[in-house]
Copies of this chain bind each other. A is one copy, B any other.
Amino acid sequence: MGVRVGIVGFRGYSGAELVRILERHPHAEPVPMEHRGDSGGACPAAVPCSPEAVKDQQLAVVFLATPAEASLELAPTMLDAGARVIDMSGAFRLGTPERYARWYKTTHTQPNWLAEAVYGLPEFCRSRIPQAKLVANPGCYPTAANLALKPLLEAGVIDRAAGIVCDAKSGVSGAGRKPSLKTSFCEVTENFSAYSILHHRHVPEVLMTAGLEEHEFSFTAQLIPIHRGILETIYFRGKNVKSAEDLLAIYCERYASEPFLRIHATGSIPDIHAVARTNFCDIGVVYDGASGRAVVVSAIDNLTKGAAGMAVQNMNLMLGLPETEGLL
């Protein structure tokens, strides 16, 4: 019998992916939690999203697959009731109320919990996760970007002064399940469009984690007419680096013991099919030694490594389970 874990927002795309993963997890027992405002068919198995339910159901962890506004309200409640919380919204990712106010255009109502939250990117924050009460599960776009950029920035092979471009593309599930004209079939099929150019809410997660200044980083989000998957094409100028192999060697060394990173050999470039429905992040590189032009392609599934898979990876770390449990 496994650890009981609650899921708020289980009808959304990330929440449903979480249920799918946890149902196959050998050591977790998912409990759907009904939150007022949820729409969708009845779910007889659901318990109310309340402090009482946390205790009655003996929930060790509660996942919040909810919008930031709901998470701001629910996280403290669930934490006070004794559960540890993995929040999949942007509510607790940005460290300071000032940064949150700037990018989310509203005041943060839980600054203490914001300060205490641990950013749940295991590849770079693994040590702090096992003891965390509140984990801020990373955004989908930042995950693909940070996993591609941070090893190279740490190795000092990117000419930051020349600027970094991250051209990001996502499947439509990234916009959530709530119906809108923007995500209607007829508006999306046979189309491709850009949005939130330079101003996407996910930008500060890259700046904070990769250690970049805003003026060094140009980011565009774009909608692909597919269900799930993210591909980011990242451009920069190399520094002290001669070949694609040099860059690949940095990744291979940094990620040698990472279970969810796959580095492509020279000449091979990731695509979305290879990562769909997996928790992998695939990375490939093209480099022109003469000019220093570098292109890195990073691909993940936005619902798995970009959301629910990462959340389970964090849960495994919090519960002292093998990190890959339920994810391979």
Decide if A229 touches B295 in the complex (CB within 8 Å): no
Contact B193 A172 (CB under 8 A): no
Partner of A233, one of B163, B184, B220, B225: B220
Q: Is the CB of B197 within 8 A of A227?
A: no
* Complex: A225 Cα to B190 Cα, angstroms: 8
CB neighbours (8 Å) of A222 from chain B are: 169, 231, 233
Judged by a CB distance under 8 angstroms, whether A126 is at the interface is no
In residues 272-328 of chain A, which contact B (Cβ within 8 Å)? 272-273, 276-277, 286, 288, 290-293, 295, 297
A194 pairs with B269, CB closer than 8 A:
yes
Partner of A290, one of B162, B165, B215: B215
Q: By the criterion CB–CB under 8 Å, are B181 and A179 in contact? A: yes
A216 to chain B, nearest CB (A): 8
Mark A158-200 against chain B: 1 for CB-CB distance below 8 A, else 0.
Answer: 0000110101010111000101110111111111111101100
With a CB–CB cut-off of 8 A, which chain B residues contact A276? 190
A residues contacting the other copy or chain, number (CB 8 A) = 57
Contact B163 A186 (CB under 8 A): no
Q: Does A235 contact B (CB under 8 A)?
A: yes
Q: How distant is the Cα of A279 from the Cα of B140 in the complex, in angstroms?
A: 31
A293 touches which one: B163, B173, B235 (CB < 8 A)? B163
Contact A226 B291 (CB under 8 A): no
CA distance A119 to B172 in the complex (A): 39
A24 to chain B, nearest CB (A): 9
Contact between chains at B235 and A165 (CB < 8 Å): yes
Output the nearest chain B residue to A224 by Cβ-Cβ distance. B192
Which residues of chain A from 220 to 246 have any CB-CB distance to chain B below 8 Å in the complex? Answer: 220, 222, 224-229, 231, 233, 235, 237
Q: Does A29 contact B (CB under 8 A)?
A: no
Decide: B218 and A293 in contact? CB cutoff 8 A. yes
A13 CB–B CB distance under 8 Å:
yes
- A214 in the interface (beta carbon within 8 A): yes
The smallest beta-carbon distance between A100 and chain B, in angstroms, is 21
Looking across the interface, which residue of chain B has its beta carbon closest to that of A182?
Answer: B179
- Tell me which of B179, B224, B228 contacts A184 (CB under 8 A): B179
Which residue in B186, B286, B292 is a CB contact (below 8 Å) of A13?
B186
Which residues of B have CB within 8 Å of A235? Answer: 165, 167, 218, 220, 235
CB atoms of A184 and B183 under 8 A apart = yes
Q: Which residues of A contact B (CB under 8 A)?
A: 13, 162-163, 165, 167, 169, 171-173, 177, 179-181, 183-195, 197-198, 214-215, 218, 220, 222, 224-229, 231, 233, 235, 237, 269, 271-273, 276-277, 286, 288, 290-293, 295, 297
Which 8 residue pairs are nearest across A and B when measured between Cβ atoms?
Answer: A215-B291, A193-B271, A167-B167, A179-B179, A197-B286, A185-B188, A172-B185, A165-B235
